[in-house]
Amino acid sequence: MPVSSDLSPQQRQAITELLRRVIPPAVDELGHRFAKAGHELALVGGPVRDALLSRPGKDVDLTTDAHPDKILELVDGWADAIWTIGIEFGTVGLRKGDLQLEITTYRSESYDPKSRKPEVTYGTSLRDDLGRRDFAVNAMAARLPGPEFVDPFGGLADLRDKRLRTPGRPEDSFSDDPLRMLRAARFASQLGFTVAPEVVAAMRDMAGRIDIVSAERIRDELSKLVCGRYPRAGLALLVETGLAEYVLPELPKLRLEIDEHHRHKDVYDHSLIVLEQAIAQEEDGPDLVLRLAALLHDIGKPKTRSFEPGGRVTFHHHEVVGAKMTKSRLMALRYPKDVVADVSRLVELHLRFHGYGTGEWTDAAVRRYVRDGGHLLGRLHKLTRADCTTRNKRKAERLRRTYDDLERRIARLAEEEELAKIRPELDGNAIQRVLGIPPGPLVGKAYRFLLDLRLDRGPIGEEAATEALLSWARAQGLEPPA
């Protein structure tokens, strides 16, 4: 197998040494095991790419000319554990110590126009196997044992130029697996690479093919894109090529027409800026919930846009409409229930702060803000701050100071009352005892009355809460026990 012709002997040696350092000894040992049996084995794809980019990677993806039954035979007695969940697609998983590996038989795969699952056929050539991979930067390998660097499609040059190309014609690659179109946008986000013009053109022409891919696979790629280092680039590519119309149609709809008589912010550009400003506040790595909420917070605006006299444009209740739309879209993409609930709730709450004015909220209103934010309060703080995209520096500074004031009030109330643990002075059992009622809806109604009382007046003590509960009960037509 020839090494890339543009490599000098010194470059070839440097790459060999780099790969030797990153390939675990157990993997090279496995290479000897396969070679002794007359079979090829190579580290392939992402692990090779990441090694050349000096990015830490956890995956160990291997490819071989051995068929799955032969792979099982060769790793028997060597691997500590073996799993065959992907064996119908030619993949065997195994564990050696702390190392997890996947070995896949050389293959080609394609989709029937009406099928969501690939048809797999086995191959005999490493070069042909690399040729069916998604992009040239992922079509490099390290033949084992050795290693020997293999780069038949110029992936190393693409890494140097930060360019994304397919090994062959992009139309053929995307026909084999339409998800690769979405993966191109994901790599633009993760690696900051420019997608080659012919690849963009094929994505545009074939965007509708993404419909045959399962929602779960689309969701996983979209999440990786959103959590990438440069998500704006990936999202813009989805919109530019028309893929967004199929995977996240609410996004291109944010590009509202703006004429000289109806002036308002470009909602699409605003949403991408909010996403970037939310990311800038992250503390412990990518936060999928926060990023999705920032991206989707205004998707209710197109449905609620209204033109008023004088050229004023309004979007009344777009946060409520947007929350429902967010829930519907994330459910269609098969996101977990907690992600759907949290993102939708943030979208619903993202305008709440604007009622604060210059600090007119009472302590009761601040308590309600905290209660409504719940476990999402920290993210709500970040989303609200990110939502300020005005170019007016004085206005932006005023909004920042106002939110600083709200956070100080929240902190003060938290210290005084342990705000995060707000409970009425009487629990459900005490309510039943005081009112002489059995469990049921009335207990919940009484509990909510006491909670509102607690939020309005702060801690009032059990005796005062009992008196207030009795007065409330009489107003409801109840006769509490003497």
HEC letters along the chain: CCCCCCCCHHHHHHHHHHHHHHCCHHHHHHHHHHHHCCCCEEEECHHHHHHHCCCCCCCCEEEECCCHHHHHHHHCCCCCEEECCCHHHCEEEEEECCEEEEEEECEEEEECCCCCCEEEEECCCHHHHHHCCCCHHHCCEEEECCCEEECCCCHHHHHHHCEECCCCCHHHHHHHCCHHHHHHHHHHHHHCCEECHHHHHHHHHHHHHHHHCCHHHHHHHHHHHHCCCCHHHHHHHHHHHCCHHHHCCCCHHHCCCCCCCCCCCCHHHHHHHHHHHHHCCCCCCCCHHHHHHHHHCCCCHHHHCEECHHHCEECCCHHHHHHHHHHHHHHHCCCCHHHHHHHHHHHHHCCHHHHHCCCCCCHHHHHHHHHHHHHHHHHHHHHHHHCCCCCCHHHHHHHHHHHHHHHHHHHHHHHHHCHHHCCCCCCHHHHHHHHCCCCCHHHHHHHHHHHHHHHHHCCCCHHHHHHHHHHHHHHCCCCCCC
CA–CA separation, 8 and 12 (whole Å): 6
State the sign of the Cα–Cα–Cα–Cα dihedral 152, 132, 181, 334. Answer: negative
Contact 443, 428 (CB under 8 A): yes
Residues of the chain with pLDDT under 70: 1-6, 57, 108-120, 257-265, 311, 417-421, 482
Contact 94, 75 (CB under 8 A): yes
Predicted pLDDT of residue 109: 57
Predicted pLDDT of residue 357: 74
Predicted pLDDT of residue 1: 34
Q: Retrieve residue 75's tokens.
A: 């790793």
Predicted pLDDT of residue 2: 36
Give tens-digit pLDDT for 387-414: 988 888 888 888 888 889 989 988 888 7
Cβ-count burial 334-361 (b if 16+ within 10 Å, e if not): ebeeebbebbbbbbbbbbbbeebeeeeb
Predicted pLDDT of residue 55: 79
Predicted pLDDT of residue 308: 75
Identity of the residue numbered 396:
A
Q: What is the distance of C-alpha 446 from the center of its chain?
A: 41
Contact 88, 105 (CB under 8 A): no
